[in-house]
Structure 1
Amino acid sequence: MKTLRRYDIDWLRVIAIALLLIYHIAIVFQPWAMFVGFVRSENALEGLWIPMTMLNVWRIPILFFVSGMGLFFAMRKRNWKQLIGERSQRILVPFLFGIIAISPLHMYLFQTFYKQPLSYYPHTGHLWFLGHIFVYVLIFLPVFLVLKHRGARLKKLLEKLMGTAVGPLTVSLFFVLEAIWVKPQIYSLYAETWHGFFLGALAFFFGYLFVYIGSPFWTTLKKWKWTYLAIASALYALRYIEYAMEAPGYLMALESICWIFGIFGLFFHYLNRPGRLLAYLGPAAYPVYIIHMFVLYLGAWLILPLDIHPIVQFIAVTVFTFTVCFVLYEFLIRRIAVLRPLFGLRMEKSKKANNLLGSPAAKEAI
């Protein structure tokens, strides 16, 4: 049976990862960058952090939502054994390879930048996200299999609930409760925290559920997208004015979900269409995510010592990071067959690999 392609979800993944790169580059220009393991510019651009704090409450959760959606599409033509094998190849292999060979690279550059003794040790670094996704696949797969084969009655109930403007907002209750229960000291601290694990699990689960429910949910988001964005903007303004950017967790959870639902509605309305650019960027997004920290640190190592304005430095590091990431993807990762599975790409014959511009982005979806 032929299924409809969701190009808006492909665009979500691509743009969310691009914003993640910009966010990480902005950290380099904050006074506290070194304390979170980043190379730090001597010339701070603290104004950059105002838009970044808006981005921060939804940048990682939205990727977990999208990953849950990706699992739904992966399950359509696979049994549970095939699915675990496919997810192991696409997620677990790059995760383990990254721990050994990718994450230590930017730590090496960090040590070099600060003239520290050089040392090597395997660690997850920014790839903690992949480890979480693989664990969620194993945890939720039994539930998703039940929904797939015996969930017709529940699906009808969810369709009715999600057909109203308030319906999707009921999902925010789970995230509010998570924030109240875990009490994260910093809501946006997702990496290697229980808050990040539980929030990611909720987002992954509901990401699957949203595409499982189908058009009633997405039609509602399309209709009410500006309302969700208005609520998110009001909550962000409250956080900025009253709480110095770190509001109580339950308010940040609600703000996060409203941003995400508004963005989902915008993308579903305007970007659910194919194109050559998406066909290229879709497969590239995952490898770029894997290598971007090393490339970012390399760019900072080369550019920060230059006697130029910090805004010019920020632009230069950004251009360097995106350019080098795509050069490495285009001329090494995409073309060398043995490297492809290490970066989450399918093994393909060289002739076919050189013709990826014409292939659908879905083939390389996370």
Structure 2
Amino acid sequence: MPALDRRYDIDWMRVIAIALLLIYHVAIGFQPWGMMIGFITNEKSWEALWVPMSMLNVWRIPLLFYVSGMGVYFAIRNRSWKQLLQERARRILLPFFFGMLLIVPLHIYIWQRYYKFDIDYLPGPGHLWFLGNLFVYVVLLAPIFFYLKKNEKGELLTWIKRLYSTPLGILFMMGIFIAEVLVLDPVPFEMYAMTWHGFVLGLLAFLFGFCFVLCGATFWDMILKWRWLFLVFAISFFVIRLIYLQTSTPTYMLSVESNCWIISFFAFAYKYGNHPDNLLRYLSSAAYPFYILHMIFLYLGSYLIFPLDIEVRIQFLLVLLFTITGCFITYEFLIRRISFIRPLFGLK
């Protein structure tokens, strides 16, 4: 498959990753432990929903960091270091601080109202912690990225391309991720938000995502060739975890499973999604505002729908539909059309 200046498959990866995040957050409201992590929780649990959730949970956040690192590769092609930091400050820091001061307090307000707690203004990163991490990664890794950019024919990049021309490169990468969990010993593995585990894991994924695109077709053709093997390994690890190990699964196994899912996802997206599409153009622009906004409409939908005496699966679909519809209407008729609001949600 030829390398293209525009990688539409990476745009699809970003859109799908945000969609999975949204669905996952809706599902948390139907787990009995949802309130413990600050979600409005339905009295009617749907615990069977945890099976697909537990599969997604080990790779949905690392996937976002990988894809974000890939995006930086394209951002630096026509930018200096200073221009990159200025552009990322506009696209990341401005929405981050705006969200901390307005978006997060709004959905916390709805949570307080639902549980009849005292109403307080509580600014904070909330679900936007991811953006704070991203900007720090750009600052820390920019010297490495620009060095690689300026030395694309150097020995280091030649070695990286050779390493990732075979699955041995993936084994090398997985070894680094395994070392991360052995050193930091995260409990649970899936606790990414505002933890050292989440920070280091995200930093590594961000770096490797950049390197994968930097390698060009060498890497992508390799994972395309071996995609079924990575998928079989991912499914096998998940089945073993689900049936035999459950909560006692070692973190190094979760790390390997996570990366097997992600690499197979990359390969299938590269094979089937690397072509222009009008729908993709719209969704790619909408994904970032949806991510920033979705907790407000998720909490509002939960507030309105959970008290209704209807079947739990219907409630799940209604909350999901309410969240998507609320985000779409706000994006289409407010964010997308009013120029001074666009930068607050990461749009040009």
TM-score range, shorter chain: over 0.9
The residue correspondences of 1:267-286 to structure 2 (distance < 5 A) are 267-286=269-288
Q: Deviations over 1:308-355 (max 9, x none)?
A: 000000000011111111110000011111110000000xxxxxxxxx
Larger relative contact order, structure 1 or 2 (CA cutoff 8 Å, min sep 6): 2
Question: What are the Cα deviations for residues 38-68 of structure 1, in whole angstroms up to 9, with x where unaligned?
Answer: 0000000000000100000100000000000
SS in 2 for 1:243: helix
Q: Summarize the alignment of residues 120-131 of structure 1 with structure 2, pairs less than 5 Å apart.
A: 120-131=121-132
SS of residue in 1 equivalent to 2:310: coil
Q: Secondary structure at the match of 1:281?
A: helix
| 1:29 corresponding residue in structure 2 | 30
Correspondence for 1:310 among 288, 309, 312: 312
- CA distance in structure 1 between the aligned counterparts of 2:203 and 2:291, rounded to whole angstroms: 20
Conserved in 2, the CA contact under 8 Å of 1:10 and 1:278?
Answer: yes
Q: Give the equivalent residue in structure 2 for 1:62.
A: 63
After TM superposition, the structure 1 stretch with the greater mean CA deviation from structure 2, 122-131 or 142-151, is 142-151
Partner of 2:178: 176
Q: CA deviation at 1:195?
A: 0.4
Q: Residues 246, 109 of structure 1: CA spacing in aligned structure 2 closer, same or farther, 3 A cutoff?
A: farther
Aligned to 1:9: 10
Contact 2:112–2:118 (CA<8 Å) still a contact in 1?
yes
What root-mean-square deviation, in Å, do the aligned CA atoms of Structure 1 and Structure 2 show? 1.1
Alignment of 1:88 onto 2:99: no
1:330 aligns with 2:306: no
Residue in structure 1 matching 2:250, options 244, 248, 251:
248
Alignment partner of 1:121: what SS?
coil
Structure 1 counterpart of 2:114: 113
Where do residues 1-366 of structure 1 align in structure 2 (5 Å cutoff)? 4-151=5-152, 152-346=154-348
How far off its partner does 1:165 sit? Answer: 2.5
Alpha-carbon separation, structure 2, partners of 1:169 and 1:345? 37
Q: 2: distance between equivalents of 1:17 and 1:123?
A: 21
2:226 partner SS: helix
Q: Report the AA paired with residue 278 of structure 2.
A: R
Letter in 2 for 1:233: I
CA drift at 1:169: 2.6
1:167 Cα deviation after fit = 2.2
Unaligned runs of 5+ in 1: 347-366
Distance in 2 of aligned mates of 1:250 and 1:187 = 9
How many residue pairs get aligned? The number is 345
Separation of aligned partners in 2, 1:293 and 1:321 = 8
Q: CA deviation at 1:269?
A: 0.4
Q: Please say if residues 334 and 340 of structure 1, whose CA atoms lie closer than 8 Å, have aligned partners that are also in contact.
A: yes
User: 1:94 Cα deviation (Å)?
Assistant: 0.3
Give the TM-score of the pair, scaled to structure 1: 0.93
Aligned equivalents of 1:327 and 1:4: distance in 2? 32
Q: Deviation at 1:166?
A: 2.6
Structure 1 residue 3 displacement after superposition = 6.1
SS in 1 for 2:328: helix
- Asked if structure 1 preserves the Cα contact closer than 8 Å seen for 2:108 and 2:122, the reply is no
- Deviations 1:149-208, CA, capped at 9 Å, x for gaps: 125221211222211133223211111000100000100110011100000000001111
User: Structure 1, residues 237-296: CA drift from partner, whole Å, max 9, x if none?
Assistant: 111122214511100000001100000000000111110100100000000000001110
**Aligned-partner residue type, residue 60 of structure 1:** I
Residues 26 and 314 of structure 1 are in contact (CA less than 8 Å); yes or no, is this contact kept in structure 2?
A: yes
The alpha-carbon distance between structure 1 residues 115 and 317, as it changes in their structure 2 partners (threshold 3 A), is: same
**Equivalents in 1 of 2:333, 2:282: separation in Å?**
14
Q: Which runs of 5+ in 2 are unaligned?
A: none
- CA distance in structure 1 between the aligned counterparts of 2:78 and 2:248, rounded to whole angstroms: 44
In 2, Cα distance between the equivalents of 1:278 and 1:69?
Answer: 17
Q: Matches of 1:169 and 1:299 in 2, distance apart?
A: 43
Work out the CA distance in 2 between the residues paired with 1:246 and 1:94: 38
Aligned position for 1:354: none
CA distance in 2, matches of 1:238, 1:45: 23
- Distance (Å, rounded) in 1 between the aligned partners of 2:211 and 2:35: 39
Partners in 1 of 2:209 and 2:66 — Cα distance? 4
Question: What's the % identity of the aligned pairs?
Answer: 52
For residues 267 and 279 of structure 2, the distance between their equivalents in structure 1, rounded to whole angstroms, comes to 21
Whether the aligned pair in 2 keeps the contact of 1:53 and 1:245 (CA below 8 Å) is: no
1:112 and 1:118 in contact (8 A); partners too: yes
Distance 1:321 1:169 in 2: 39
Q: Give the Cα–Cα distance (whole angstroms) in 2 for the partners of residues 188 and 156 of structure 1.
A: 35
TM-score (normalised: structure 2): 0.97
